[in-house]
Structure 1
Amino acid sequence: MKFRATRPTGGLALATRPQPAQHAAPEPLVTKRQIELVRATVAAVEPCAADLPRFFYTLLFERHPQVRELFPIRMEVQQDRLLRALLMIVDLVDDPDNLARFCSDLGRDHRKFGTVTAHYGAVGECLLATLAHFAGPAWTLETAEAWTTAYNVAAQAMDQAAIEDAKHRPAVWQAQITGHRRRAHNLAEITVQPDQAYPYRGGQFVSMTTPWWPRTWRYYSPAHAARRDNSITFLVRAVTGGRVSNALVRQAETGDVVTLGPPLGDLALDPHSPRPVVCVAGGTGLATARALIEQAVLDGTRRPIDLYVGARTLEELYSLDDLHQLARRHGWLAVRATVADELTTGSGAQLLNTMAQHGPWPEHDAYLAGPASLVVAAARVLQRGGIPLERLHHDPFVSLDQVDHS
């Protein structure tokens, strides 16, 4: 799994597998100088960011053809995920705790691909060669050593988390579709029954692959907290060009079998926090919001929760009655809904205006789920209403970089 730098061209030689922790020297920390070099490399290759993933995977499959079978036939989305994961690791390289948590989640999730310890060596070798290729003169022996250290820290966290995870649960679950109901022309409510226990907390998300697009994974949030019968319901929107989503909405039928990866994410209400909550959901983000609230009920929370829901059509608010019933049973929950056709393409003006009328929220935590444009716009409204950025919790696939950090 580990590497040692050999020359500034980026070539790396495999080292022996680490010995058990009680006999091994402590993993070297990434120094301040190495952090500077790692981030300088990212700046140097940024003009070639679109070409970097393609070059990396071409190199990986040429040098290690045995790993090709772990990946989907169509690689477009996979290439984008590589770049996002790499940028996240670079962003967290000076934050050891969060880096370890992020990489541990990656390691557990990668078990579904069939990843084993030896694969980290192949990936590291080709990643550094790719960076060397695009960095040009900025790639020095010192830079190679910095990336070697940073990669080894990340890879070891991933590998150890995967090894530990394998002791307690499977890499994947087979799940039969037991319910398939169209809720709108491009929206379906899909219920599956995993072949064994699938524990998760409301607010987490689940990766899924289908028999129509093998090894092509997409992430969906369960629309509820865990049920006693182990069934899981997802709200899936067929998006333009989305192979998995279109297959699930338009092609899947009751009796078909899909494959689930492990539950991931930590978007969950803290049952011990005394702060009230404002929750904003748009589109299929309503599933996440509902799961969060159901989990709060299970946890016995009494925190006041104001839920603001936006949808493009009334059809998409089909589960609103269930939320209103929860609000009638639990006085700490208030639900407000708006319909705005521009929600997924614009700012969701009606929803945002409704929110603004009920602020400010200086003492609140905020939880956001839905289209990226809505999440960012809602985050702006909430921050202007007094909620600091560190109390804005949101889907892991949405960046709040567009929100004022001052």
Structure 2
Amino acid sequence: MTDASSDYEQLLALHHAMQLRRSLREDGRAAPVAVRRPTRYPERAADQELLVTSLETIGSSADEVVRSFYAQLFLGRPYLRGLFPAGLRADGDRLFNALIGLAEALSDLPRLVESLEQLGRDHRKYGIRPAHYDAVRQALVGALREHAGAGWRPEYEQAWLRAYDFAAAVMQSAEAASTDPPYWQGTIVAHHRPYLDIAVMKVRTDVAYRYRAGQYTTIEVPAVPRAWRPYSMATAPRPDGVLEFHVRAIDLGPVSTALVHDMGVGSTLRLGPPMGSAVIETTGERPLLVVAGGTGLAPCRAIVEQVLTTQPGRPVQLIFGARHTQELYNLPILAQLADRYPALTLVPVATDDPDFPGPRGALPELVASSGPWHRHEVYLSGPPGLVHALDRVLARLRVPPPQIHHDPLPD
């Protein structure tokens, strides 16, 4: 890490310490900060139509718009480049796609507000300040205007400005109200590789890390500064506060490669705040169908643990698959859970292993053939292609959309 980056991190920590000190009550505990929470957006329906129509004027030039967005963002503000990792492409696409995603997300305002509040708390780890929001606002509208050409209309610009200002206000109110640290320092206390490219690691944080079963965090490793990648907690919250993660090393993925192959017990990392809304409601009564593929088992195992400890009689069917038998590394732990809780039914699947004694084949086909599921609450996790396929199967089986839960997927 450069001296400039180190200085910036120290300033960020100092800013948080001052904010926390201002919020302390007389008894020394952090008190909630009274912040106005934007929840109304009178022009929402009309603006959503304008946003969608404006994007149609861009057509197939999306990559050029992304490049233009960052060129305008950094023009005259070179200091902002330090907020992004050296390899900008993946992280850059995420930011721009999130901004463009406002067009669709406006259809469900309560869900959008919840997501924006999580983003506001999460963005504190980057050291985002109010001036940065203004810079992004200008760059976003400038890039869209430039590439829409003659098709751009003043009402498009006003709709984008209103939508962005609403989103920024929600995020900034959540940031101001949070008394948690901008990120947590973590130390790996256990690390093993049950399969060639998979690591199971346990992490202890310097400050208590509060989350709900089914949520995920983002992790930054020292070798790849400012490149934060999402990983789900693999257990329900534990009394000792230790977090467990399942990581698969992916091609051209420097963070996952470092976590699997280069790091071990004693290695340090950083964690962002918990995120995600695919959490279990332990007051529900519907039976559960939980479907996981690969390391997507992590949040599903956390959900299963949570519901079995709080509602031990609630029926749970866990269908989890991997390509090969060796990748079903959590099967012994899950089998122990099933022994303790008769309400849990396990269905392990090896999709590509002819020697596997249990079910084989694609998970969507197995789910389709083993229903009906319309009376179940359904939780899904795994690669985006798998979750999209499961969504389509469940729609054909007439499972009501409000009963299907998973985190948002990339397009």
What TM-score comes out, normalization by structure 2 length? 0.85
Report whether the alignment pairs 1:316 with 2:324: no
Offset, 1:337:
0.6
Report what 1:376 is aligned to: 388
Indicate which of 251, 255, 267 corresponds to 1:240.
251
Report what 1:63 is aligned to: 76
Secondary structure at 2:160 match in 1? helix
1:84 counterpart letter in structure 2: N
Distance in 2, matches of 1:322 and 1:261, equals 28
1:30-77 CA distance string (max 9 Å, x none): 254333222111111232112222211121111322222111111011
Offset, 1:258:
0.4
Conserved 8 A contact 2:231-2:245: yes
Change (3 A) 1:307 1:253: same
Instruction: Give 1:56-135 correspondences, 5 Å limit.
Output: 56-135=69-148
Report what 1:15 is aligned to: none
Conserved 8 A contact 1:30-1:150: no
Conserved 8 A contact 1:208-1:217: yes
Conserved 8 A contact 1:30-1:93: no
Report whether the alignment pairs 1:293 with 2:304: yes
Secondary structure at 2:257 match in 1? helix
Report what 1:345 is aligned to: none
Report what 2:13 is aligned to: none
Secondary structure at 1:47 match in 2? coil
Indicate which of 177, 182, 194 corresponds to 1:171.
182
Conserved 8 A contact 2:39-2:113: no
Indicate which of 269, 281, 289 corresponds to 1:278.
289
Distance in 2, matches of 1:319 and 1:249, equals 17
1:345-392 CA distance string (max 9 Å, x none): xxx834344433421112111111111222222233333333123322
Task: Tell me which moved more, 252-261 or 31-40.
Answer: 31-40
Conserved 8 A contact 1:175-1:195: yes
Distance in 2, matches of 1:395 and 1:299, equals 23
Distance in 1, matches of 2:39 and 2:259, equals 47
Distance in 2, matches of 1:317 and 1:21, equals 47
Task: Tell me which moved more, 301-310 or 199-208.
Answer: 301-310
Distance in 2, matches of 1:247 and 1:35, equals 41
Report what 1:225 is aligned to: 236
The answer for unaligned runs of 5 or more in structure 2 is 1-32, 354-359
Conserved 8 A contact 1:128-1:144: yes
Report what 2:3 is aligned to: none
Report what 1:36 is aligned to: 49
Q: How many residues align?
A: 373
Report what 1:332 is aligned to: 343
Percent identity between the aligned chains?
38
Change (3 A) 1:26 1:281: closer
Task: Tell me which moved more, 96-105 or 229-238.
Answer: 96-105
Instruction: Give 1:175-254 correspondences, 5 Å limit.
Output: 175-254=186-265
Change (3 A) 1:26 1:95: closer
Report whether the alignment pairs 1:394 with 2:410: no
Conserved 8 A contact 2:184-2:271: yes
Report what 2:161 is aligned to: 148
Conserved 8 A contact 2:34-2:177: no
Secondary structure at 2:237 match in 1? coil
Offset, 1:249:
0.7
Distance in 1, matches of 2:267 and 2:287, equals 42
Offset, 1:26:
9.7
Change (3 A) 1:127 1:253: same
Task: Tell me which moved more, 231-240 or 64-73.
Answer: 64-73
Distance in 2, matches of 1:182 and 1:122, equals 43
Report what 1:364 is aligned to: 376
How well do the aligned residues superpose, as a CA RMSD in angstroms? 2.3
The answer for unaligned runs of 5 or more in structure 1 is 1-19, 343-347, 400-406
Offset, 1:320:
1.0
Change (3 A) 1:61 1:35: same
Conserved 8 A contact 2:202-2:244: yes
1:349 counterpart letter in structure 2: G
What TM-score comes out, normalization by structure 1 length? 0.86
1:272-309 CA distance string (max 9 Å, x none): 22211111111001111111111213433532111101
